[in-house]
Structure 1
Amino acid sequence: MMNSRKYLPPMGLLVAFEACARLQKFTSAAHELSLTQSAVSRQIRALEDIVGVALFVRERQAVRLTPAGEIYAAEIRQSLRDIGNSTLRIKASPGTGTLTLAILPTMGTRWLAPLLPSFVQRNPGVTLNLVTRLEPFNMEAHDVHAAFHYGAPEWPRAELDFLFEETIFPACSRDLKARYRFESARDVLRAPLLHLASRPHAWTQWFESQGIQGANVGGISIDQFATVTQAACAGLGVALLPEFLFRAEVERGELVSALDVRSRSQGNYYLACAASKAWYPPLKAFRQWIKEQTAAGMEPMKKPP
């Protein structure tokens, strides 16, 4: 950082350059910045002298970016956006900062949300922002500090904290169970199967774990756990559900276990933390807190009827 400071142009020059690059006219940029056109032109000349290359091609009625200017403009625009976001965060949370978490929809609403008041109470100066993401993404580009992840321990440019394993069970309505009278895993093949789109091989893996190879596992594909669960409650078919997320439906009798069988999922749950932000105090506090929440493991669900 110390070596790069000598390459930092004055902020006013960068702001003027971004406006000119976006508007493609010095006069329009001057109006936006409440400056004269000649003042803006001098600022661009000064910036070109600093970087040592032409950033604009001057034409009679307008200007356009050179190839070098196009690249520089994109990078400067992102840098100015980052500075603005940092300023907004510290204004919103002058005490200890803002923590942005990416959550998995059903896990976030059913498991994490009820726990979060404990974290907020322990860290009253931290402002939480929650966004929904289903797949790994570039946390740096989206200004996210950490993300909940299900699957293999793989996430580029992230540190992964193991949270817990997942236990699943075949769930259905009471009426459907009574209709098919399941006694073995092979009996489940006679019923309609409900598939979660993000876990297309879950049923195949489950039948293999029950000693059934090459099973024909056709059925209905649904893209959200919430919809899969409602379909199972309505008697549309049998769904493989994580027991820690759907205790309430079992306790209310809306769902029952098609068979008294528990099995481990192929994936586990992790907290993926942006490696470059591991030093950030709110993130460090959250990592410690979430480890405490999962240290004892997930409590087994009461045996479904």
Structure 2
Amino acid sequence: MNRPRRFLPSISLLSAFEAVLRTGSTAAAARELDLTQGAVSRLIQNLEVQLGRPLFDRHRRKLIPTEAARAYGRDITRALDTIQRASMELSANPEGGTLSLAILPAFGTRWLAPRLGGFLAAHPGVTINLATRLKRFSFEAEGFDAAIHFGVDDWRDAGHMKLFEERLTACATPGFLEGKAIKSIGDMRTLQLLQLETRPTAWEAWFEAQGVAPCPVQGMLFDQFATMTQAAIAGLGVALLPEYLAEPEIAEGRLVSLFTPAVSSVGAYWLVWPKARANYLPLEAFRAWLAAETSAMP
């Protein structure tokens, strides 16, 4: 691809522009870049000449960025972050590839992390960087190679691979249930039913799977499974947990399940990736490994 030199300013010009835009002054940018204030001013002027338009309005020796410069700056910041990340990854792992993966906190710590050793042993040249994300994001803006997503296969401009459907178990501590006559599903209506922000219809689906009409849900609201699980263990109510979270707690006696365990949830776990990265070798290896791991699940 032919890239006209005019539209490829040097890193020194872009770094000076981004620093002035972020810090608000040439003096602050100069201190950050270890340059003189005059040098930073000249770099900004050279960038404006190269682009053929002003980026700042000059008022009493102050630089006020134009609206166009602010928009341009957002893109330049993302580009500089991408270059820095790529350089760091190359330095850390010059012989292999790096996979930057966004994960859901509970899925990442309780399902994925215990299995990752197998992948890394099979692919010693690949480094995996993990970061948690609770909500959908822009791959272009964030720079991730892939993400673990809960819901349906509707991530825009992305490839999808289904991992497994979520199945939920209602759990509480033996102490919480002691003295409560919970003999039928209807008796659940009097209990505190803990809720998760990202699963607003989970209890409704659970009641329907038990063959009864849903009831109004009363209970604390959480943004993560980890805190909801701890609340249930503390005896604050009944938690609706995925199998991979419920099973260890039940096996160790901290929680017990109520009625039919592991009913189908309202979504599934997916690996998603930007289409432009579909053939990235570390991602291809990770996809193949995940497919083997999930197909071996009972």
Unaligned runs of 5+ in 1: 300-305
Deviation at 1:92, TM superposition (A): 1.4
Distance between the aligned counterparts of 1:25 and 1:175, measured in 2?
61
Q: CA RMSD in A?
A: 2.8
Report whether the alignment pairs 1:148 with 2:153. Answer: no
Query: For residues 1-305 of structure 1, what are the structure 2 equivalents within 5 Å?
Result: 1-4=1-4, 7-22=7-22, 32=33, 34=35, 37=38, 43-59=43-59, 61-177=61-177, 179-296=179-296, 298-299=297-298
Q: Please tell me the residue identity of whatever aligns with 1:276.
A: A
Cα deviation 1:267-290 (Å, max 9, x = unaligned): 111112122322322222111111
Give how far 1:186 is off: 1.9
| Compared CA separation, residues 187 and 79, structure 1 to 2 (3 A) | same
**Structure 1 289/57 Cα, relative in aligned 2: closer, same or farther at 3 Å?**
same
Q: What do the CA deviations read for 1:74-126 (whole angstroms, capped 9, x no partner)? A: 43333223222221121111122322212111111111111011111112222
Give ranges in structure 2 of 5+ residues lacking alignment: none
Query: 3-state SS of the aligned residue for 2:99?
Result: strand
Q: Is the 8 A contact 1:103 1:132 kept in 2?
A: yes
CA deviation string 1:136-178 (max 9, x = no partner)? 1123212222111112222233222100012222222234445
CA distance in 1, matches of 2:24, 2:191: 63
* SS at structure 2 position matched to 1:120: helix
CA distance in 2, matches of 1:223, 1:56: 42
What amino acid is the match of 1:281? L
Between the aligned partners of 1:171 and 1:145, the Cα distance in structure 2 is 35
Amino acid at match of 2:244: F
Identity %: 43
Superimposed CA distance per residue, residues 219-259 of structure 1 (whole angstroms, 9 cap, x where no aligned partner): 33333323332333344332222122222221122222221
Amino acid at match of 2:89: R
State which drifts further: 21-30 or 46-55.
21-30
TM-score by length of 2: 0.85
**Residues of 2 paired with 1:238 and 1:131: CA distance?**
29
Moved more, 170-179 or 19-28: 19-28
Residues of 1 paired with 2:224 and 2:238: CA distance?
15
Aligned length: 297
Give deviations 1:27-86, integer Å, cap 9, x for gaps: 77667454683x666554443333222234445534433444443334333322322222
